[in-house]
Amino acid sequence: MLNKKTVTDIDVASRRVLVRLELNVPLDENRNITDDKRIQTTLPTVRYLIEHRARVIICGHMGRPKGKADPAFSLAPVAKRFAELLPGVSVAFATDVIGENARAAIAAMQDGDVVILENVRFHKEETANDPAFARKLAALADIYVNDAFGSSHRAHASTEGVAHFLPAVAGFLVGKELDVMVGAISRPKRPFVAILGGAKVEDKIGVIVNLLNKVDTLIIGGGMAYTFAKAQGGSIGNSLLDESHVEAALDMLNQAKQKGVNFLLPVDAVAADAFSNDANRRTVDIMSIPDGWIGMDIGPKSIEIFKAAVADAQTVIWNGPMGVFEFKNFAEGTRAVAEALAGSGAVTIIGGGDSASAVRQMGYADKMTHISTGGGATLELLEGRELPGLTALDDK
The yes or no reply on residue 388 touching ligand AMP (CB under 6 A) is no
Q: 60 vs 321, which CB is nearer to ligand AMP?
A: 321
The yes or no reply on residue 326 touching ligand AMP (CB under 6 A) is yes
The DSSP code for 22 is: -
Q: Answer yes or no: are the C-beta atoms of 223 and 333 closer than 8 Å.
A: no
The DSSP code for 72 is: G
What is the total residue count of the chain?
396
The yes or no reply on residue 229 touching ligand AMP (CB under 6 A) is no
SS3 for 223-274, per residue? CCHHHHHHHCCCEECCCCCCHHHHHHHHHHHHHHHHHCCEEECCCEEEEECC
Is position 259 annotated as part of the catalytic site?
no
Distances (CA, A) of 339 to 6, 97, 336: 34, 45, 5
The minimum distance between CB 198 and ligand AMP, in angstroms, equals 2
The yes or no reply on residue 320 touching ligand AMP (CB under 6 A) is yes
Is position 353 annotated as part of the catalytic site?
yes
Q: 45 vs 319, which CB is nearer to ligand AMP?
A: 319
Q: 91 vs 240, which CB is nearer to ligand AMP?
A: 240
Q: Rounded to whole angstroms, how far apart are CA atoms 198 and 223?
A: 6
Using CB under 6 A as the binding rule, the residues of this chain from 184 to 223 that contact ligand AMP are: 198-200, 203, 222-223
Q: 52 vs 230, which CB is nearer to ligand AMP?
A: 230
Pairing of strands 281-285, 268-272: antiparallel
Q: Answer yes or no: are the C-beta atoms of 132 and 357 closer than 8 Å.
A: no
Buried b (16+ CB within 10 A) or exposed e, 74-101: bbebbbbbbbebbeeeebbbbebbbbeb
Q: 8 vs 244, which CB is nearer to ligand AMP?
A: 244
Q: 184 vs 289, which CB is nearer to ligand AMP?
A: 289
Site string for ligand AMP, 108-137 (x = CB under 6 A): ------------------------------
The minimum distance between CB 117 and ligand AMP, in angstroms, equals 31
Q: 171 vs 295, which CB is nearer to ligand AMP?
A: 295
**Cβ partners under 8 Å of residue 335, min gap 6:** 325, 358, 362
The yes or no reply on residue 354 touching ligand AMP (CB under 6 A) is yes
Question: Among the residues of the chain, which ranges form H helices?
Answer: 37-51, 76-85, 100-107, 124-127, 131-138, 172-177, 183-186, 201-211, 225-231, 246-259, 300-312, 332-343, 353-361, 376-382, 388-391
Q: Rounded to whole angstroms, how far apart are CA atoms 208 and 201?
A: 9
With CB atoms as reference, the residue minimizing the distance to ligand AMP is 198
Is position 376 annotated as part of the catalytic site?
yes
Q: Answer yes or no: are the C-beta atoms of 273 and 265 closer than 8 Å.
A: no
The minimum distance between CB 107 and ligand AMP, in angstroms, equals 45
Query: In the set 77, 321, 351, 388, which binds ligand AMP (CB under 6 A)?
Result: 321
The minimum distance between CB 118 and ligand AMP, in angstroms, equals 31
The stretch among 37-45, 102-110, 136-144, 315-323 that binds ligand AMP (CB under 6 A) is: 315-323
At residue 95, what is the residue type? Answer: T
The minimum distance between CB 278 and ligand AMP, in angstroms, equals 16
The minimum distance between CB 113 and ligand AMP, in angstroms, equals 40
Using CB under 6 A as the binding rule, the residues of this chain from 233 to 262 that contact ligand AMP are: 240
The minimum distance between CB 222 and ligand AMP, in angstroms, equals 4
The minimum distance between CB 354 and ligand AMP, in angstroms, equals 4
Q: 96 vs 203, which CB is nearer to ligand AMP?
A: 203
Site string for ligand AMP, 285-314 (x = CB under 6 A): ----------xx------------------
Q: Answer yes or no: are the C-beta atoms of 264 and 257 closer than 8 Å.
A: no
| Given the residues 200, 301, 360, 367, the one annotated as active site | 200
Q: Rounded to whole angstroms, how far apart are CA atoms 2 and 148?
A: 17
Question: Is the dihedral angle over the CA atoms 172, 79, 39, 157 positive or is it negative?
Answer: negative
| Given the residues 299, 320, 352, 353, the one annotated as active site | 353
**DSSP-assigned letters across all residues of 307-347:** HHHHHH-SEEEEES-SS-TTSGGG-HHHHHHHHHHHH-SSE
Query: In the set 58, 97, 115, 324, which binds ligand AMP (CB under 6 A)?
Result: 324
Residues that bind ligand AMP (CB under 6 A): 198-200, 203, 222-223, 240, 295-296, 320-321, 323-324, 326, 353-354
Catalytic residue list: 38, 200, 353, 376
